[in-house]
Structures are given as C-alpha cells and as structure tokens.
Amino acid sequence: MNHISPDWLESETTKHQDHVIAHVLGATVMGWLIAGEAAHLLLDIGFLWTIYLDGEMNLLPQGVAISELDADELSIADKTDVAFDAQLLLSEGRDASGLKRFTGSPLECLITAVAVFAANSERRIVISGDEAKIEVVTSLETAELRVVTECPSG
C-alpha cells in the first residue's frame, strides 16, 4: 500500500467538507460500495458518506442516499441489493455474510480524523481510526477510485 509521499500535499477543505467531516467523526465505517464516480461508505449511524472523484463529499441517511444513486449506475434490482446489504451490515456488523454489492470493512475503523490530500489529478481521503486507516484514492484523469485499508501498526 502506498503511504502519503512527499508528492501528496494536504488540501484545504471546503466548509461543506468540514461540515461532513465533523458529522462522521466518532462513527464507524461498516463497509463500502463503489458506484459510478463515488465511494459510498456505510456508517454505523445509518448514514451513507459519499466521496466523489474530486474529493467532494456528501452525507445522507442511507435510505435517501441509496434512492438517489444514479439510475445509470445501478438498476432497481441493484439498489434493492444495496439496501439489503446496508441493513445486513447494520444488523450483523462488518463481518456480515452474503453481501452482494457492499464490501464489509475488514478492519474496525472508528473515525477519529479525516485528512484530504492532492497530487496532480489524484485525491486521497485518509480516514483514521485507533484500530485502522481507510483511504479513498481517486484519479480525475482516469476516473479510477479505490478503497484501501491498513492497520496503523502494520
């Protein structure tokens, strides 16, 4: 896994990003799904934290967020799977089995800090917790988006 290199510069966050970050602190990431040009992280508080390619973000109750997922990205059947997976993760925890669309978080990540970095057309949102770190890495140039996890101690 790539660590923050000298090429990555911490980015100023917008007021909206600051507001979203303030609300996710203290929540736990249960899992995520990548759809379209965004990563959607399910939090244990029943909200979906959406992080877009450009580093912008949104936070909505899971039901509202799932219903607003772009029809071009997900069919009605896919949205049903997403809603089912979200409920499964919230009721059974991040180790829930039978997930069709979400990836359960392999590590416990109670969010203690969020930092935003940029290098050219790439963005890196670093979500830090006591037990784990989750990074959402994006490229505006290639429209690629990935979520990576890491234990701080290894």
CA dist list (Å): 53 to 27, 63, 92, 110: 22, 22, 30, 23
Quick one: pLDDT at residue 110?
Answer: 95
Tokens matching residue 2: 């790539």
Which residues does the chain have with pLDDT short of 50?
1-2, 154
For the whole model, what pTM was predicted?
A: 0.91
Token pair 């990563």 in the structure block, residue: 39
